[in-house]
Amino acid sequence: MDFKDKVVLITGASSGIGKEAAIQFAKKGSKVILVARRKQKLEQIANDLKKSNIPTLICECDVSDKLQVEKMSKLVLEKYGSIDILVNNAGFAIYGSVFDLTTEEIESQMATNYFGMIYCIKNFLPSMLEKKSGHIVNVASVAASFGLPGIASYCASKFAMLGFSEGLKHELKGTGIGITVVSPIMVRTNFFDHPSFKKCRNTH
């Protein structure tokens, strides 16, 4: 596939897989939209890409917030009309047993990892359907396939992402829009930087 001049939106673009994906798409000549909560980090990446004359747009947005996603998507669609590739990458885990985690900590993972993906798809899918082309990439995890102790709530959010993606894939048949689920195993990122993982490291 030729990525030159394609409009690519990546959530969780301030670090890890999202940041690297942005760099790789930019190298292939795509117009990259960087979405994340940390504006300063996004600005650093955008400045690095500008040195290579790559046009970027940064959007400070917490994907777990439905209204923020609506505002962000409106801004993007006003500028570009539509996007070609949506990469739902934003996600995090809090380590701890179901007993130890608060209900709010469990809900927060589902809010970002699962509902964040849905909010983005709901806002960008209509314009893709209108032009009968586009691709959605959902970054899940090997934890979408089997449950693991200590990250049960994270696994649940990724199981949900996988099930939603499979159902949506059938619905999109014949529309010209594709969907891909990526399930990484272990990638060297700041995923384990959440303070809760100190407990995990201390037990091994």
Is residue 127 within 8 A of residue 99, CB to CB? The reply is: no
Q: What confidence score (pLDDT) does residue 200 get?
A: 47
Tell me the average pLDDT across 160-189: 89
80 is catalytic: no
* Domains of the chain, earliest start first: 7-202 (3.40.50.720)
Burial track 45-60 (b if 16+ CB lie within 10 A, e otherwise): bbeebeeeebebbbbb
DSSP string, 89-157: -------S-TTTS-HHHHHHHHIIIIIHHHHHHHHHHHHHHHHT-EEEEEE--GGGTS--TT-HHHHHH
pLDDT in tens, 125-143: 999 999 999 999 999 988 8
**Residue 16: pLDDT band by 50, 70, 90 thresholds?**
very high
pLDDT of residue 90: 97
How many residues does the structure list for the chain?
204
Measured CA to CA, the distance from residue 100 to residue 94 in angstroms comes to 11
